[in-house]
Structure 1
């Protein structure tokens, strides 16, 4: 993708003319060229008519689309997972211990061994190793291994004392919710500021290399520290994707503002997670003695938080996965609406993260209150269907009713797609595929609609209207793709053909944010 131009002595952002491309644009579907000036698209059309610019880029037939937005991310954990101990391929307790031992041997004796991604629902023997076995494998080093959901973890003996007497503690070393938060604070607190920033830069750089120009960082007590949160916000747009920060703390609007947050939402936990059997559900879990999970917010508390947000002119929201938790949060919306009115509540564009077990009645209430659903389609790809984790936890019928993303879209719920990385991988095209071809075909949505939720939907969820499109006057924020699998309807071919052959995935060659290149292959 050669470039030419005159830049000597220039201090302003140069204008750029992109030629010989294909552009996913409703404004001009036949366009072969685009010109940007500063942070804005100034022209789009036929390459023969393209005006001059300071720099010319020959796209060589590549496809240009609006850039992706990942609407739910944890940058530090994502960077640690890239650079550290990935346990997602592990399929037995013994294999987990082997990987811990191999990785720990490369770390100083006083280090905390960070690992992520083990999922016991994929093991024949679903009993994780004990704290004592972790001690032995790690040569006495402290060990923190977050489960795939990041709502529980395996901890070594040296980390357990801080969790004793805290709800969710288990002397086996498998700690959940509040006890997990206590252990997690020690584990993440062991990072130096330089190590933390390095992990965050790794995560954001990887995001840019995948065509992601903005992310929603979800922090809050139990998820991350204030120092962690402000550290990643300080990297926003500095040659990296833009970071919209969400601080999830009940009654914490002033703290969120002081920290530079974009909203008092994200990981404000109304419940836990299905993977850790702590999502608040109406019917008991079928595997293990965990009842109906954990509920952390009442309807009145939810209402009070939303009313605080409305009065402050601040976006609010909650993490809610189970049907009981979602119903409670929506009851909170109803209570808030009685005080300020539905229209004023809707103006806040408040959001709920995950919304995995939601029925038609609750979907209708989401529409009524204008609630944005920040969802993760790859959850269904990994754990949905008839024989995976959701079926183990909930039974087949409830598993097949989970993550009805297509039904929410069809009913008019505004959607924003995210990865919840490191819970699922940073892979935006995988989100599109998972939504377009879910395990329950009743919940399908078109590739175009799924792409919109992965791009424009993320901007809209952050209150940035009109972004995520290619047209004159719009932000010059886009990604450039090689498309070895071909193009159909203006987007890459992503779904299997009639012979069930999967096409090759698109490859990002350039990501541009507000006219500035943040990734180039």
Structure 2
């Protein structure tokens, strides 16, 4: 036996409890009592005392952007800003601390957290940071980007620049761009933000993966892959090189961004397919972004926003475009997971999946990522079509403060985690990092309490949608494994499965729900190897 983890409080997440887990060749060989497990010790066996701590299957994040999260670690961090003035000061301080920058890129601001002027930063405001170099600040959702005047010049964005399909260049009363770009218009700034090369991509992925394992993650479903018309997919090569060098401490299931017919053709021309790969790095479903975010009011709604009646948000695809891509993928045996936050987009996505069901040769596991603004008929339709919900309870930290003002009565049937389970919809959790941090424990806290980290509101936001701790942990383990068709190899602590474990410093099943957020990861094990240990 290679190693024995003993003296633990093991919850297998398949209805059993145990004290010990024996590991051989990266897999679980035995789960049971200490006495029987320790009898399997041989001369070279490593013994790891769990100290009576709660031990669970390794957490799985079913939607995030590992490379983008890693890249954000090397940008100006704008999340701490609590006013527009603080945002500008963070930018100036970053420039001062990093002299010689040819451009300033930051990410993470959220105007909903500002105490003063809660409007998007305009070009003339960002000019206060610098008029000499381009400045580009991403909103936390990455569906809105604000540029200074120099950045607009570098990117060639002027009064006569047309809005791209699926995007908006926000303009002043004279038709002059004010520096705010929404949805696909953000792509107009690519000229000042070139994609990272292989070396930089590896550095970012490695840094992100080390952060992820410190949060107890052993698998991530990463939306990082794009496929240009020619040349290689740089993120894919970076992942492959890290795997080959033994520098990828986490398993990656790759959600493939095949956003248009050209990228779709390129993916299959290169010989890729869903399911291809190994236990460390595997191709997954086609990922499509079909609308924007609630915070930016770009999520596409069936009715106008309650607090902005002039807009219903921005659809990225026409109905025909979405149907075509989803059906084409299904014909090739590739499921789709579709970013849908607004109820109008959810309806479009379900229409496309219903059409795909008619052409797929075997039943595919399609999913809706985010699945935020819903009503009961939409959720009942998801159940009928057997569509998974890949949701982010950590979004409640911000969204419980704005959802009612954005969508009114519809908030009562939104972020409807308990209703989804009552309807028997398969639901798994994620984070959408770097939009939010990939802290699974915090996600469990939000799902169980329906509160923000300050404990607001006292009784929870629409408390009827609260989950039990068991349900929330299952969504980060057993159900998340189902989402990638890997329920036979991960998601529970069971003999014959991969030895992926997370050990917590306190038992979140026994403490008060409000205390869950204070728990932390003590140890993370991936393939039997300890990849993180708390100091």
Task: Report the TM-score, using the length of structure 1 for normalisation.
Answer: 0.86
Write out aligned runs for 1:54-453 (5 A). Answer: 54-123=45-114, 124-138=116-130, 140-161=132-153, 162=155, 163=157, 164-167=161-164, 168-170=168-170, 171-183=177-189, 185-189=190-194, 191-219=196-224, 226-232=233-239, 234-235=241-242, 238-248=247-257, 249-251=259-261, 252-257=263-268, 258=270, 262-266=283-287, 268-288=288-308, 290-339=310-359, 347-384=363-400, 388-395=401-408, 397-438=409-450, 439-453=461-475
Aligned partner of 2:26 in structure 1 is 39
CA contact (8 A) 1:405 1:443 kept: yes
Which stretches of structure 1, 4 residues or more, deviate above 6 A after TM superposition?
none
Change (3 A) 1:371 1:275: same
State the shift of 1:230 in Å. 4.2
Q: Is the 8 A contact 1:281 1:292 kept in 2?
A: yes
In the alignment, the residues of structure 1 paired with residue 420 and residue 29 of structure 2 have an alpha-carbon distance, to the nearest angstrom, of: 35
Shift of 1:335: 2.6
User: Separation in 2 of the partners of 1:325 and 1:487?
Assistant: 36
Q: SS of the residue aligned with 1:172?
A: strand
The question of whether the paired residues in 1 share the 8 Å contact of 2:374 and 2:410 is answered with no
Instruction: Return the alpha-carbon distance in structure 2 between the equivalents of residues 187 and 516 of structure 1.
Output: 41
Superposition deviation, residue 108 in structure 1: 4.1
Q: Structure 2: how far apart are the matches of 1:82 and 1:493?
A: 33
Cα distance per residue 1:255-284 (max 9 Å; x no partner): 345367623433x12211112211110111
Deviation at 1:234, TM superposition (A): 4.6
CA apart distance, 1:89: 2.3
User: SS at 1:512's partner residue?
Assistant: strand
User: 2:522 aligned with 1:509, yes or no?
Assistant: yes
Residue pair 2:447, 2:466 contacting (<8 A) in 1 also: yes
SS of 2:299 mapped into structure 1 = coil
Query: CA 1:232 to 1:29, structure 2 compared with 1: closer, same or farther past 3 Å?
Result: same
- Shift in Å, 1:462: 1.4
Report the alpha carbon displacement of residue 402 of structure 1 after superposing the two structures with TM.
2.0
Q: How far apart are 1:233 and its partner, in Å?
A: 5.6
Contact kept, 8 Å, 1:416 with 1:457, in 2: the verdict is yes
Runs of at least 5 residues in structure 2 that lack an aligned partner in the other structure: 171-176, 275-282, 451-460
Q: Counterpart in 2 of 1:479?
A: 502
Q: Distance in 1 between matches of 2:108 and 2:227?
A: 18
1:80 and 1:114 in contact (8 A); partners too:
no
CA 1:506–1:32 in 2, change beyond 3 Å: closer, same or farther?
A: same
Distance 2:380 2:344 in 1: 16
- The separation in 1 between residues aligned to 2:60 and 2:483, in whole angstroms, is 10
User: Displacement of 1:368 after TM fit?
Assistant: 1.7
Separation of aligned partners in 2, 1:503 and 1:300: 45
SS of match in other structure, 2:315: coil
Residue 464 of structure 1: SS of its match in structure 2?
coil
Distance 2:387 2:225 in 1: 21
Aligned residue pairs: how many?
487
Equivalent position SS for 1:518: strand
**SS at the partner of 2:104?**
strand
Quote how far apart the aligned CAs of 1:310 are.
Answer: 2.4
Residues 137-175 of structure 1 show CA distances to partners (whole Å, capped at 9, x for unaligned) of 146232221112110011122332434433312322111
TM-score, normalisation: structure 2: 0.84
Mark the CA change 1:422 to 1:504 in structure 2 (over 3 Å): closer, same or farther.
Answer: closer
In 2, distance between residues paired with 1:254 and 1:456?
Answer: 33
1:452, CA displacement in angstroms?
A: 0.7
Moved more, 323-332 or 47-56: 47-56
Structure 2 contact 286–334 (Cα < 8 Å) conserved? no
Secondary structure, aligned partner of 1:89: coil
Q: CA deviation at 1:360?
A: 1.4
Q: Is the 8 A contact 1:143 1:156 kept in 2?
A: yes
The match for 1:458 among 476, 480, 484 is 480
- Alignment match, 1:3: none
Instruction: Return the alpha-carbon distance in structure 2 between the equivalents of residues 260 and 195 of structure 1.
Output: 26
* Distance in 2 of aligned mates of 1:38 and 1:300: 49
For 1:403, what is the secondary structure of its paired residue? coil
Give me the whole-angstrom Cα distance separating, in 1, the residues matched to 2:28 and 2:529.
Answer: 12
Distance 1:169 1:442 in 2: 40
Cα shift at 1:503: 5.3
Question: Closer, same or farther in 2 for the Cα pair 1:464/1:26, shift >3 Å?
Answer: closer
CA 1:104–1:295 in structure 2 vs 1: closer, same or farther (change >3 Å)? same
